[in-house]
Amino acid sequence: MKKFNIAIDGPAAAGKSTIAKLVAAELGMIYVDTGAMYRAITLAHLLQPKVDFETLVQKIDLKIVNENGQKIFLNGEDVSERIRDNDITLNVSHVASQKVVREKLVGIQQEMTIAKGIVMDGRDIGTYVIPDAELKIYMIASVTERAERRLLDNQQRGIEANFGDLMKDIERRDYIDMTREISPLVKAQDAIEIDTTGMTIEEVKNEIIQLANKIIA
Ligand code: C5P
């Protein structure tokens, strides 16, 4: 079967990870969540706030294992769950706007895509990390619906959350991600936009599978 890459970008809590995981499983591809990498660096920064970003990324021991989903290890410790906590979510967009952080992570991400067969989700995947991805999706949804989904997700993970705070956090992160100097969140010219507001997970997944099938054919 022809090997190809799928780039999925979009604002916070648009459902990218959920969908990317399902699409990868159905097509026998590898799913890569780049947000988790920025979150892991944010955790390292919060643990050592006095260390400058350049030193932090030089010394960081980050391991990403992509088998049956993604696990992320920081200095040998599995931090896949820890990086979903509120303190990380609050600080991640600031950390992700640092040039040295982006250079380090984009390098790792590009290496992962060379052999193809990757479904990668993030903010700059179709525009910057894999500009030649065979399929690019730009996934959006209303802020209200995104906050509702995040609330449900947090409840399931046992993380305390309130709807108003989640709305504010989503808007604040979108603003930072869309206005930062280096590789801001924008829709790639050749990306296909899917507004998932009011759509079920199954519907969104099927739409992307149909688009992918056109590439395979
Ligand atoms: O996808 P997730 O919400 O976990 O991403 C967390 C944050 O990481 C985003 O709000 C954004 O600031 C940053 N990010 C990024 N570029 C990516 C993926 C995530 O800047 N490719």
Each of the 217 residues of the chain gets a pLDDT tens digit; together they read: 789 999 999 999 999 999 999 999 999 999 999 999 999 999 999 999 999 999 999 999 999 998 878 999 999 999 999 999 889 999 999 999 999 999 999 999 999 999 999 999 999 999 999 999 999 999 999 999 999 999 998 899 888 889 999 999 999 999 999 999 999 999 999 999 999 999 999 999 999 999 999 988 7
- Give CA–CA dist 147/161, Å, rounded: 10
For residue 196, the model assigns a pLDDT of: 96
DSSP E strands in 153-206: the ranges are: 192-195
* 9, 41, 92: residue to mutate for ligand 1 pocket, most atoms within 8 A of CB: 92
Question: For residue 150, what are the contacts with CB-CB under 8 A and spacing of at least 6?
Answer: 13, 161, 166, 170
- Give CA–CA dist 27/213, Å, rounded: 9
DSSP secondary-structure letter at 191?
P
For residue 3, the model assigns a pLDDT of: 93
* 177, 183, 187: residue to mutate for ligand 1 pocket, most atoms within 8 A of CB: 177
* 123, 127, 169: residue to mutate for ligand 1 pocket, most atoms within 8 A of CB: 123
Instruction: Specify the amino acid at residue 188.
Output: A
For residue 9, the model assigns a pLDDT of: 98
User: Residue 71 forms beta bridges with which residues?
Assistant: 65
For residue 149, the model assigns a pLDDT of: 93
Q: In what order do the strands lie in the sheet with 6-9?
A: 30-33, 118-122, 6-9, 135-140, 192-195
- Give CA–CA dist 154/164, Å, rounded: 14
Indicate which residue's Cα is closest to atom 10 of ligand 1. Answer: 93
For residue 157, the model assigns a pLDDT of: 85
Indicate which residue's Cα is closest to atom 4 of ligand 1. Answer: 35
| Ligand 1 first shell, C-beta below 6 A | 12, 34-35, 38-39, 92-93, 96, 122-125, 173, 177
- Phi-psi sector, 13: left (phi>0), alpha (psi -120 to 50), beta: left
Q: Which residue shows structure tokens 């591809």? A: 29
User: 110 CA distance to ligand 1 centroid (A)?
Assistant: 16
User: 122 CA distance to ligand 1 centroid (A)?
Assistant: 6
Atom of ligand 1 nearest to the CA of 36: 4
For residue 101, the model assigns a pLDDT of: 98
Core vs surface per residue 44-71: b (16+ CB within 10 A) or e: bbeeeeeeebeebbeebebebeeeeebe
pTM above 0.85, yes or no: yes
Query: Which of helix, strand or coil describes residue 23?
Result: helix
